Homo-oligomer: A and B are copies of this chain.
Amino acid sequence: MSPVETPLKPEADDATLVSGVGLLIFRLARASAWRLGRSLTDSGLRWPEFAVLHHLDAEGPIAQRELALALRIQPSNLVALLDHLQERGLLARAPDPADRRRHRVELTVGGRRAVKRAREATRRAEGEMLGPLSAEERRQFRALLVRLTAHTCDRGAAGRGGRC
């Protein structure tokens, strides 16, 4: 390569390669919110509510504080969310006998049924969203997401654990 000539399409260096990835994530998140939200309307759930039910279904009963920590939701914001789900009879809250400050959150039978139905709907939405990818690429993408979100540093994590 001559020093005076600059290539029309220069190969991206390492810094350029990751540049803009944040904006791409936002765009994908918006599209995901739209598709997922639409798929959840039949269940009458919004996606943070689905996240709560999904986590309770996967991990079992848990105290509110731990639930908030796991989902990176502010405990204060979790309250109304759980209230709504409880009013609909999808989960139950009961004070822990050993420490009555802690409230144990648990799915009801109706909650388990609801999350099962909602997951079926979101599965379809996610399938459409990942349409451009092959089965192997979907596996890759999901694996990368899992690794990237395993130790996320958001507001909740930074305030407490101090790992950020």
Number of A residues near B (Cβ < 8 Å) is 58
**Least CB separation from A138: chain B residue:** B18
Bitwise interface map of A from 130 to 150 toward B, beta carbon under 8 Å scored 1, else 0: 101101011111101111111
- Check A25 for interface membership: any CB of B closer than 8 A: yes
Give the oligomeric copy count: 2
Interface residues of A in 11-27 (CB under 8 A from B): 14-15, 17-27
Majority secondary structure of chain A interface residues (helix, strand, loop or mixed)? helix
What's the Cα separation between A57 and B139 when bound, in Å? 35
- Check A88 for interface membership: any CB of B closer than 8 A: no
What's the Cα separation between A119 and B22 when bound, in Å? 11
In the assembled complex, which residues on chain B have CB atoms less than 8 Å from the CB atom of A133?
144, 147-148
